[in-house]
Amino acid sequence: MNIENIEAFVYVFHYGSFNKAAEVLYLSQPSVTARIQSLERELDCRLFDRMGRQVHLTENGVKFLPYAQQLLQTFQKGKQQLQRTRTTPKELRIGCTVSVSNYMMAELLPKLKARYPGVHMKVTTAVTDEIVGKVLNRELDIGFVRNVNHPNLQSVKFYEDPIRLYTYADHPLAGAGEVSAELLVDQPFVFFECGSLDWLRIHRMFQSLNRPPAIEIHTDNAEMAKKLVLNQAGICFLPGLCVSKEEREGLLCPVDVAEVAGIRLQTNIISLNGEQTEIVRFLIAHRPGEVYI
């Protein structure tokens, strides 16, 4: 039995018209008619009655319909599975920045494994420039990086992480809502900086003050900066993702500073143009937690 004839039968029933079925199947109307006639000869019965421009199933057509639909669905599912097998790699090599590695991969990887159970996952943590180079050289399949653009890469926004000032729970500014930068100059600071251009706004805010803030410790590690704030070594501007747990538990308190409102760190997913499209779409649809896009 020809599956194309089954397909034509189901589509004519669904659309109620030989012409409409032909349009959807990218065929001529005589081609659809020929397929239905071939199927009727094979089954030795008439499947449709024509009434003017409308077509209706015969009694035999009604009996045959559920079997035809099941046959077509089974064929389409099998075809999709074969296509997925051909396009899904046996190993997925993922590159990510430290923040993604620390705060997102533990939630993303189980979802990827559930969707692609036969795929081995290998994760490399590195800085954005190194990940970009490895994707371009086919050493990595996808990368989670800061916002980048390259003619050979497809780069899709994954999330934006707001940067806010955080204090420990019993700090005088905890619960203050929004404050002006002038109130910060006498506060001991832990300064975390990840190299993004967005941090320049914080630098400029500090430079605009009558006197610089008291930066006690400078670090490029968000976990260290967070733990220093928890240990009351100072207050710190931090990405929201890295402190979400402590904020929910009331251990750290966000304070909005008017002069630097709206600063966010953007993370994109990159891959070579035209490659890993299905996996990138899956990741975009399964962003963990509350993210800003």
Q: What is the pLDDT of residue 83?
A: 57
* pLDDT at position 291 over 50: no
Report d(CA 24, CA 21) in Å as an integer. Answer: 5
Q: What is the pLDDT of residue 131?
A: 93
pLDDT in tens, 23-38: 878 788 899 999 999 9
Query: At which residue do the structure tokens 């993004």 appear?
Result: 196
Q: What is the pLDDT of residue 292?
A: 47
Span 117-124, average pLDDT: 91
* pLDDT at position 193 over 50: yes
Q: Where are the alpha helices (DSSP H) in the chain?
A: 3-15, 18-24, 29-43, 59-87, 98-103, 105-115, 128-136, 199-208, 222-230, 244-248, 277-285
Q: What is the pLDDT of residue 84?
A: 56
Residue 48 contacts residue 55 (beta carbons within 8 Å):
yes
In this prediction the pTM is 0.62
Q: What is the pLDDT of residue 124?
A: 95
pLDDT band at 181 (very low <50, low <70, confident <90, very high): confident
45-50 long-range CB contacts below 8 Å, 24 or more apart? Answer: 47/9, 48/12
Span 246-267, average pLDDT: 87
Report d(CA 87, CA 280) in Å as an integer. Answer: 13
pLDDT band at 289 (very low <50, low <70, confident <90, very high): low
* pLDDT at position 204 over 80: no
Sketch out the chain's domains with CATH numbers.
Answer: 3-86 (1.10.10.10), 88-293 (3.40.190.290)
Report d(CA 163, CA 254) in Å as an integer. Answer: 10
